[in-house]
Structure 1
Amino acid sequence: MIDLEHQLKNPVWHSLKETHKEFAVEFNGVQFYNPEICTFGSFFDETKTAKASNEYLKTSDEFFFVSENQTPIIDDTKVFLEKKIDGCQMVLNKLIDIQITERIVLLDESFIDEIYDLIWLVMPGYYQKRSFEMGNYYGIFKNGQLVSIAGQRMQTNLFIEVSAVVTHPNYTRKGLAKQLIAYNTKEILKENKTPILHTNKGNLAISLYEKLGYTLTRDMNWWLYRKKIS
């Protein structure tokens, strides 16, 4: 088995080799998620990414390559880099136990539309409805409305990523996200897996994650590519 440290250097790749192998699409030694699930791609050999990207773009108009320090090679006659997100990876170092005062609900498939709508309200752009299939989602309701969620995304036999942490603008600054992250973290630990998360450098939420026991470990960057329109 590949150890945790090596898995975390290329989390998309190892997720697609293990827990999420049913979602894997491979071209020329480069792995992608089924675009209905997630538009992340991963690689070890950047010389293979140009050919693979052209193939993947037959099924999706955009995708991310996720890498720690490698730069993908693309066919710039067919693909262009829209932006590079300078990200970082955080790994739970020590669980900081906080009081859970809210009723937190494990969300089932009946909430797919509500999850999608809330994420697109707060973080529009990249979440797919079927991203729900990647892991558990937990939510807090107020007056019958889903107002805050924290989900799970990439995962292997050794780690699970906390993701899709969003709160409706009318309910921010009430500690809902903090409680959801803490609850999600505990649920991951119950599975004897390491909780991780990713965010962009400079995100104000980093201080919250650190207060919950997460530590910055490495860069993890997202290269967003789009298909060129002829």
Structure 2
Amino acid sequence: MGNRDGVALGDPVGESLRGRHAHLARRFGRAVGYLPDVASFCAVSADPDPAEWADLARLLGPGELADMFSSPATPPPDWEQVFTLEGRQMTWSGTGRPAPRREAEAEADAEVLELGPDSVPEMLDLVERTRPGPFRPRTPELGTYLGVRENGRLVAMAGERLRPPGWTEISAVCTAPEARGRGHALRLIDALVVRVTERGERPFLHVAEANTGAIALYERLGFRTRERVTFRGFRTP
């Protein structure tokens, strides 16, 4: 992996906000974050000084969540830690299209559909029921989101989130409890990998360390662990 890839994946939030997601960003000084109804993530430089933390506090406002994602930067001591979660960053190791799936791994009649703005209420309902991670009303503007319907109802989805140079993150992979075990997540990730690689980019993703089932699925699909990360959030003073 080249040095530029290491920079992009080492700071995927900042690299996205300063690049392809600049139109979805808010800024103050050297601090940057997503618009509140798009995503909770924000970013500072790799070695921020007190003035940069002050910029971030001004950007977010007092008593607000600073979702630092996987940034290892530590804020001043008067910033209250809200959460910490161990996880890993995984990158797709293959080239070209994903390997064909066995028929037993997914139902042939489950069509993968692109989800548009009219699907957002259903997407938010599915997220509420499955809790795949942060997802807000304008999160679908980050990239393409795909879904599977059963009897007209959205039961599974996955989409594109962070977009550092040369990469696209696959995120919001979720399936309703009543539709699990039918290969929907596998089919959706396959479809997204095809889309990303056809653009000349590489897929990557993040997953909680405790989610062993998801890690096993991603490994089956050709994803390999790049590094362990810690997701952290803080409350601004």
Question: Deviation of residue 148 (structure 1)?
Answer: 0.2
Q: Which residue of 1 aligns with 2:117?
A: 109
Q: Does 1:29 align with 2:38?
A: no
Aligned to 1:142: 150
1:1-230 matches, cutoff 5 A: 3-43=4-44, 44-48=46-50, 50-58=53-61, 61-68=64-71, 70-74=72-76, 76=78, 79-94=79-94, 95-98=98-101, 101=108, 102-123=110-131, 126-204=134-212, 205-227=214-236
In structure 1, C-alpha distance between the alignment counterparts of 2:23 and 2:228, rounded to whole Å: 27
For the 8 Å contact 1:66–1:220, the answer to whether it is kept is no
Kindly tell me: are residues 42 and 219 of structure 1, through their superposed partners in 2, closer, same or farther at Cα, counting changes over 3 Å?
farther
Structure 1 residue 45, shift from structure 2 partner:
2.1
Q: Give, in whole Å, the separation in 2 of the partners of 1:209 and 1:97.
A: 15
Deviation digits for residues 126-146 of structure 1 (CA, Å, limit 9, x no counterpart)? 311101100000000001100
Answer whether contact 2:145 2:160 (CA < 8 A) is retained: yes
Give the whole-Å Cα distance in 2 for the aligned partners of 1:73 and 1:59: 14
Report deviation, 1:118: 0.5
Distance in 1 (CA, whole Å) between partners of 2:26 and 2:81 is: 21
Residue 183 of structure 1 aligns to a residue in which SS?
helix
Return 120-129 or 194-203, whichever deviates more: 120-129
Q: Deviations over 1:133-187 (max 9, x none)?
A: 0000000000110000001100134111000001111111111111111111111
Q: Does the 8 A contact of 1:159 with 1:193 survive in 2?
A: yes
2:161 partner amino acid: R
Q: Which runs of 4+ in 1 moved over 4 A?
A: none
Shift in CA distance, 183/159, structure 1 to aligned 2, threshold 3 Å:
same
Post-superposition offset of 1:80: 1.5
How big is the shift at 1:124?
A: 7.3
Q: Secondary structure at the match of 2:13?
A: helix
Comparing 190-199 with 90-99, greater Cα deviation is found at 90-99
8 Å Cα contact 2:13-2:164 kept in structure 1: no
Quick one: which amino acid aligns to residue 82 of structure 1? V
Distance 1:113 1:74, change over 3 A: farther
1:58 shift after superposition: 2.0
Structure 2: how far apart are the matches of 1:59 and 1:52?
A: 12
Question: Does the 8 Å CA contact 1:162/1:195 hold for their aligned counterparts?
Answer: yes
Q: Deviations over 1:200-228 (max 9, x none)?
A: 11322101100000000012322112356
Post-superposition CA distance 1:97-148 (Å, at most 9, x none): 3256320001111101111111121117731110110000000000110000
Give the AA of the match of 2:39: C
Question: Is contact 1:47-1:73 (8 Å) kept?
Answer: no
Provide the C-alpha distance between the structure 1 equivalents of 2:132 and 2:220, rounded to a whole number of angstroms: 27
Alpha-carbon deviations, 1:48-84, whole Å to 9, x = none?
Answer: 453133213328832310235x2321352xx421111
Cα distance, 1:167–1:124 mapped onto 2, change above 3 Å = closer
Q: Distance in 2 between matches of 1:132 and 1:59?
A: 28
Give secondary structure in 2 for the equivalent of 1:86.
strand
Using the size of structure 2 for normalisation, the TM-score is 0.86
- Aligned pair in 2 of structure 1 residues 218, 125: CA closer, same or farther (>3 Å)? closer
- List gaps (5 residues or longer) in structure 2: none
